[in-house]
Structure 1
Amino acid sequence: MSESQTIKLGARPIELVDRIPTPEEVFKLSKIGWKEVAFILMGPAFIAVGDAFGSGEWLMIPVFTVRYGWGMAWAIWLLVLCQAVYQIMWTRLIVIYGEIPAIFFSRLPGGPRFWSWFIAINHAARVAWPGWAMGAATAAAAMILGRIPGAADAPFVRGIAAVLFFIVLLTLLFGGKVERMLEIVMKVLTAFIVIALLFIVLPLTIKMDVLREFAVGL
């Protein structure tokens, strides 16, 4: 095979190359040390890391646990496993084909004309629609009220959801370059979640009786 060759893969052409460029070539760096890894190479990856903190693990399962006890503990591992497989699958495809999922889907039958609309609508329904804001608002309301919100608390939850939704919207509208803003936000959120879990939540909440109940739920 020559150095580069274009073939048709699905509904669109793709360029084949003999080698994948090195990180130094991609980021135009003479060498890569720990500083470059932390502040340059890992930058965009934090967006994927933040997205990997799914609402199922962080919102739905805690609610189920409060309502039904640690008997639902098995669902946590199931969701984490599915999330890991999902993320690794797309990571491998991106490395092999050099395309993000939205572009890769356009190679399937139906072509770009169908898949561009399908992905836009699907993504809007899954992410842009305020459903995630409502889920986050429910968790925030539970922390404020000290209990799971009920039907009587619906206006309060909707108010928090509206505030959260518009905070995200304003951040993206006035935060400059979208990718850079998402990178900064996800770095802060990821650090907060990890530090809060390891040094605040775990020491204050994990006790032997809780661990025993959790083990039974597994």
Structure 2
Amino acid sequence: MTFDQTTINMLLNGIWETVYMVFLSSLLSYVIGIPLGIALVVTDRGGIRPFPLFNRVLGVVINLLRSVPFIILLVMVIPVTRLIVGKIIGPNAAVVPLVISAFPYISRMVESSLKEVDAGVIEAAKSMGASTGQIIWKVLLPEAKPSLLVGAAISITTIVGYSAMAGAVGAGGLGDIAIRYGYHRYETDMMLITVVLLVIIVQIIQEVFMRISRKSDKRIR
């Protein structure tokens, strides 16, 4: 395979589309996932505002969404994607199934991080008369920040993998290039290059979030 300007431009466009899909779907997934994760913690039996029935129903819905394999979800939500975006191919269309698949996972990651916060800190805030909102925004989220950032690194790198898988249905990005050129045209070099580029993107995301997490962790200062 020859690396002419057309091939280079195609790879650069694939990188851009992958970064675009991952960034937008991660942002939207966290906009949905963080409130759900907070709700799971707050309404738990030992939470700030226990509401077992709501917690159980929400947990079941999240678990059901998490249990659907992404490649199946891609096909299942095609009518929803067409309704929201107006088409079923391209990076914008891929964002819809990416968000639907990622936000349940992220909500559980957020729940896990918030539950790591020392109960004594929460009790101290309660004893000082802090409201539920104050405990959430001034105690839970700041104390869980390092863990939330580690969870973000894991979640976003998972979304990178999903975005590559979305290439199977014409979503664009590096996954689409790997399938159309590397797999269907038997161009092994192109397949390897797209894999290497995806690995580099994952490593950059992982390194950035891990460094920010270490800097924000009061225990290692």
Does the pair score TM above 0.5? no
Name which one, 1 or 2, has greater alpha-carbon Rg.
1
Choose between structure 1 and 2: higher helix proportion.
2
Choose between structure 1 and 2: higher strand proportion.
1
TM, length-normalised to structure 1: 0.30
